[in-house]
A and B are shown apart, each in its own frame.
Chain A
Amino acid sequence: MPEQRLQDIASAVLRRGRDARRSPARGQLTAHSELTLPNAASAFHLSHVDDSLAHPPHNDQPLPPRTHHNHLPPSVPAAAMESLGVLLLHPMNAYLEQELDRRFRLIRLWDSPPDARADFLRSNAAAIRAVVGNAGYNADSALIDALPALEIVASFSVGIDRVDLAKCRERGIRVTNTPDVLTDDVADLAVGLAIAALRKIPQADRYVRAGLWKAKGDYTLTTRFSGKRVGIIGLGRIGLAIATRVEAFDCPVNYYQRTKKEYPNYTYYPSVVELAANSDVLVVACPLNEQTRHIVNREVIDALGPKGVLINIGRGPHVDEPELVSALVEGRLGGAGLDVFEDEPNVPEALFTLDNVVLVPHVGSGTHETRQAMADLVLGNLEAHVLKKPLLTPVV
């Protein structure tokens, strides 16, 4: 069948589907099964959600019939929800994807081959009123330009450095994120990374698993964590949660941020270099924006020094990564615990042989409990938007 004819059918079907959904009569929704076009061009997506979804489906597989699991009572809000076309940028979470599919009209960006992305977006542009992105994939300038019907970006993350906020403001597009629900996880990990780096916990694990522990008297000296001076860049929600935890280890807490606040137990430093010079462990806990890009640079690394440890649970671009790597390799910096990198998932291989670094693959909020809570926030924000209620966690 000629490509254009296929596209015409797909468009007609799309219109019929939209009209069917707008009808309050529940029976109409089952018409969806009539709209199934096996092997149709991916003008719209008809796949059911696989709970074990770990990888995006291949596009050469026939599309299975859509199955409906609508638990909402018959009502106008239900239809309104169903009419919200949501573009999900990446298979970031199975529960989120399943619920987006159940409650709204889900369009999966990865259903289109990467080289046909522009066409895919064009075909779906009229339907897409919401985008769900995350730390790695978000509504940048190009994507926003391609979506004239976009009303809201609901990010599955607290950091929204990859959302073009200025453009969103210009176009009146709302933006939400997922603060608070992940604060504990990120703070837990930050402190866990600091202990792991200073006490070389992963290195001990590797040592034992490699069968290298031969004599009871073998010992690797590592330095105590308690009492180390902890310097926090950005004393926001996450920074404060880190401060509370390290205080229980009798760590003096120092901080830097744009404005000094009155914290009786925490010492303010007016610059990151001075903070680094007066800390043993430096933690990056601020948002990423133009001012904070490479906030940890050569000067800061030098000030932290050969016994200092850098913990990054912010964003890779907070740190001048090549400088960091050479400082670690050369011993000018004592150690590091890194959850984020400039070019994820690529991590500088020079770090792989170092025993004084701990490397984890952006797992700051990576627990079942927190990702569920984040997903519920995304869903809640989208529902509030549809119902014209105040957004739960708006940024713009």
Chain B
Amino acid sequence: METTASSTADESPLVLLVQPLFPEFAAALAGRYRFVLAADADPAAAAEARVLLVPGLAPVTAQHLARLPALELVVGTSAGVDHVDLDTCRNRGLSVTNAGPAFAVDSADYAVGLVVAVLRRVAAADAYVRRGRWAADGDYPLATKVSGKRVGIVGLGNIGSRVARRLAAFGCAVSYHSRSPKPSSPYTFVPALLDLAAGSDVLVLSCALTDETKHMVNREVMEALGKDGVLVNVGRGGLVDEPELVRCLRDGVLGGAGLDVYANEPAVPPELFGMDNVVLSDHRAVVTPESMRGVLEVITANLDAFFSGRPLVSPVQLCTLNKR
């Protein structure tokens, strides 16, 4: 099915794209919607478009949104929507949807994998073996136990609650910090992030990046987590003061880190490359066929709901984000 820049007799609803769809998505959604790249849209299409689909994490700015007067819905394909100008969306009364829980399972699994990998030095020990050092230099130094560690989770949403359940099964004591306590949760709520850090051996970041949460993990928090403490980030790089993180790791103020996200991807601070107490990953926590299928279902469900006037499946609550 061709995607043309102008309206045709095709009855499929028009959906503008911020960037091209992943091939898998394009194939799955072909025939149901008429996709046009926003940058290529002719004036008629731009004036008509009610939906903007955001594959990937390309920024959606006020300027992008200003070109689309009929816009009503921004469909995200990720868990985090910090790359979308949410202030503008709120002011214009736009709806925004995200990936909902589609990525939560894989994010949580990956976070746990990073916790074990950092504490037990799995990646460093693997490198040790591959370099032939086991035969040459003897046994790998002792690491530290995962079971029984005190874990603090920042953000007990879809991802955080799954991380909690998994690490509890490893015998970890789980506490959490979030905007408000979750009464149905069996875990201990800690109102202040600094207190959570001080009382934890491992701090896992699984919350949204907003004006409030930007750089929430600063020097003070890292000092509180401490020289034996470990930070794991599967949220957004912006949650952490990255230059300070590098200094704290370099100076032994912080014990270790497992990072899937960074302030300025794909740039990763090269000082981290020489550290054995750090596990680095290329923002792949959710890159599984299962998550891709899941997000496709959510996108399709949101688009179908929108075009048939039904409630959206995974709307983002704009009024509670970016409060000043």
Contact = CB atoms under 8 A, between A and B. Distances in A.
A367 B134 CA distance: 17
B143 A362 contact: no
Interface string A303-318: 0000000000000000
Given A192-B113, A213-B268, A361-B129, A370 B105 contact: no
Given A245-B169, A360-B122, A370-B145, A347 B287 contact: no
Contact of B265 (A216, A345, A346, A361): A216
Interface string A167-180: 00000000000000
A196 B266 contact: no
A388 interface: no
Interface stretch (A23-31, A115-123, A201-209): A201-209
A345 B135 contact: yes
A65 to B, nearest CB: 28
Nearest to A136: B139
B125 A219 contact: no
Interface string B266-308: 1010000100000111111001111110000000000000000
Contacts of B282: 204, 207-208, 213, 218-220
A342 interface: no
A207 to B, nearest CB: 6
A184 interface: yes
Interface stretch (A222-230, A263-271, A274-282): A222-230
Contacts of B134: 344-345, 347, 361
A223 B113 CA distance: 13
Interface in B150-202: 165-166, 168-171
A366 B140 CA distance: 8
B163 to A, nearest CB: 10
Contacts of B57: 216
Nearest to B165: A248
Given A221-B287, A224-B288, A361-B128, A191 B116 contact: yes
Interface in B64-101: none
Interface in B108-148: 108-110, 112-114, 116-117, 120-123, 125-130, 134-135, 138-140, 142-148
A244 interface: yes
Categorize the interface residue count of chain A.
35 or more
A192 B165 CA distance: 15
A224 B142 contact: no
Contacts of A248: 165-166, 168-169
Contact of B169 (A201, A213, A247): A247
Contact of B116 (A195, A207, A209): A195
Given A192-B146, A201-B113, A201-B114, A208 B287 contact: no
A367 B143 contact: yes
A201 B109 contact: no
A54 interface: yes
B122 A188 contact: no
Contacts of A188: 116, 120, 145-147, 170
A226 to B, nearest CB: 5
B56 interface: yes
Nearest to B142: A368
B242 interface: no
Contacts of A200: 284
Contacts of B166: 245, 248-249
- Residue among A185, A195, A249 with max Cβ neighbours from chain B (10 Å): A195
A207 B282 CA distance: 8
Nearest to A189: B120
Contacts of A196: 113, 116-117, 122-123, 126
Contacts of B105: 224, 226-227
15 contacts: A184-B148, A188-B147, A192-B117, A205-B117, A221-B287, A224-B106, A224-B289, A226-B109, A245-B166, A345-B135, A345-B139, A363-B125, A366-B142, A368-B144, A368-B145
Interface of A: 54-55, 184-185, 187-189, 191-193, 195-196, 199-202, 204-209, 213-227, 244-245, 247-249, 344-347, 352, 358-363, 366-371
